[in-house]
Every structure is written in structure tokens, then in C-alpha cells.
Amino acid sequence: MRAFIFPGQGSQSVGMGAALAAASPHAREVFQEVDDALGQHLFRLMADGPDAELLLTENAQPAIMANAIATLRVLECEGGIRLSDKADFVAGHSLGEYTALCAAGALDLSTTARLLKLRGQAMQAAVPVGEGAMAALLGADLGKAQALAEAAGDGDVCRVANDNDPSQVVISGATAAIDRAVPLAKEMGIKRAVVLPVSAPFHCPMMQPAADAMAAALADVTLSAPVVPLYANVTAAPVADPEVIRALLVEQVTGMVRWRESVLAMQEAGVSDFVELGGKVLGAMVKRIAPDATATSVVTMADIEALVGRL
């Protein structure tokens, strides 16, 4: 069994998608459709930068999605590999959940781009700059991370945001709490805590205004059943009912990304082959979570051709 998986924020870089667009008209069509949907030259920003502008959440989120969908489109149109034939499940890390739903036909591309632009804007606006932060805990499991978040909170919001893999958990919350957590980490047996270069505290209760904005936006969109079930971030369980998916996408804004549990649950369901499209982040996480599984990250035309040969 196989899952197609889609990366989240942090996988963006200037130059992304440029070689794919140069090589494939199908990739160019995806980037053009996203540009048209957003009314901006997002692909130019992806290809040429500047980096500071691409890093902005409202640009990074639709850019990462567009790059992954362009990769899938080339795989389908030029490689003859259809997701519906070759995947048993889809999953995505945070914003990647929207990409997964687009890939599985639950959302159309233009709608997905507009939702992610809005999601980025709403997440940025939810907390004034400087009032929230995130830190990656290296050499920490979920239990240690939760204990640290509780100890560092001291009346401020501090929560586990991403349970990524057995060696990396991310905490999120008020800047003061994250500042307390960094020196506390070593005392609590965690190898290292690194403050992340993000502009807002994602996946914690401080994001409630963004969750409200997404609830309003998602209420107005057509959401179909995906062609294969989605493993949802907040439940680490498969879902195919459009109304349940709609509710989970809202919950996901403030909820923990249960990526480690999702991979283990997919493996338990019989998945032994994970294919990451549009990034090289999740494949490495999968190998740390499920060492016996096959994990392939597909970014370039050569990667696509190799995958076509294998599938």
C-alpha cells in the first residue's frame, strides 16, 4: 500500500518550481492557474525571490502547494501515473493537508490557492509580530516536549505544535514562554531547543482568530470527497467525509500536527511506501518514524522519471 504525502511550511526556497516549469508545459499551467487565482505573480516570486518575500506566510503557503501540485500534474500527464490508481491514502503536513485534498480531487486548484493565501494572512494577523514564537526541540519525544511546554508556560500559552518524528517536536506559544523553554530544555533532558525563524506561533490556541477566519472561508467552498482517504493532522486517522474534513481543517489551525502518529497509523493500515511530492522534508521524517518503510521525495524531472519507472 502507498501514501502520497505533501510538505508544509519551511520547504520553500527561491528557485522552487523553475526547472520543472522550464521542462514541462503541464507544470507551467499549474503555476499560471495559481497566479490567476491569486491575482499576483507568485511563480515569479518562487523562481526569482526575493527570499524575504517568499518567506512571508501568505506567499509561502500557496507556493509550496503550487510546487507540489505541479509535480503531481507532470507525474500524471507525462508519466501516466494517476494518484487514484497508485495511492491508497494522502496526507500533508499542516498546509500540506490542503495540497493533499487538492491532489485527491476534494478541492480545485484555484480554490486551494485562495484558501492558503487567506490562511497565511489570517495566521499572520492573529498575533501581533513579536508576541508569539516557536521552537524546535531536538532529541525530544512527545512526553518530554509536553512536560517542557507545561513548565515554561507559567500562565502564558505554550503548547506542542508539531509532533514531527521521534527526535523532533516543535512547541509554540507566547514569546515569553518560548524564551523560558529554551534554557529549560537541557535541564529536562532535551538535547537542544532552537527558536524557529517564523513570524507567528502556529498550531496553538493563540491562532483562534485565524481558525475563525478559516471557518468562515471554508463554509463557502465546495468540498468533495477525496478519491482516497486523507489521514488528518489533528486525528492521525483516515477521513473521507467532506463535512468532517471541513471541520478538521478549522481545528487544525489551533491543533497539534500529529505527523509521527499519522505515519505510524498509515503503516499500521498497511502502507509501506511513502511518496513525498514537491519537497525533501517529509521523506526523511518518515524514515525516522518507520525505518522499514520506503520513502521517496520527488522534486525534479529526474525524480519524476525515476518514480514512473518504479511504479
Q: Is the peptide bond before 50 cis (omega within 30 degrees of 0)?
A: yes
What secondary structure letter does DSSP report for 224? P
Spatial CA neighbour of 279 closest among 111, 26, 60: 60
- Burial letters for 263-278: b for 16+ Cβ neighbours within 10 Å, e otherwise? bebbbeeebebbbbbb
Grid coordinates representing 261? Answer: 502518529
Grid coordinates representing 12? Answer: 520553500
Which amino acid belongs to residue 303?
D
Catalytic residues: 94, 203
| Contacts with 202 (C-beta within 8 Å, 6 or more apart), sequence order | 9, 94, 123, 134, 161, 172
Strands 2-6 and 89-92: parallel
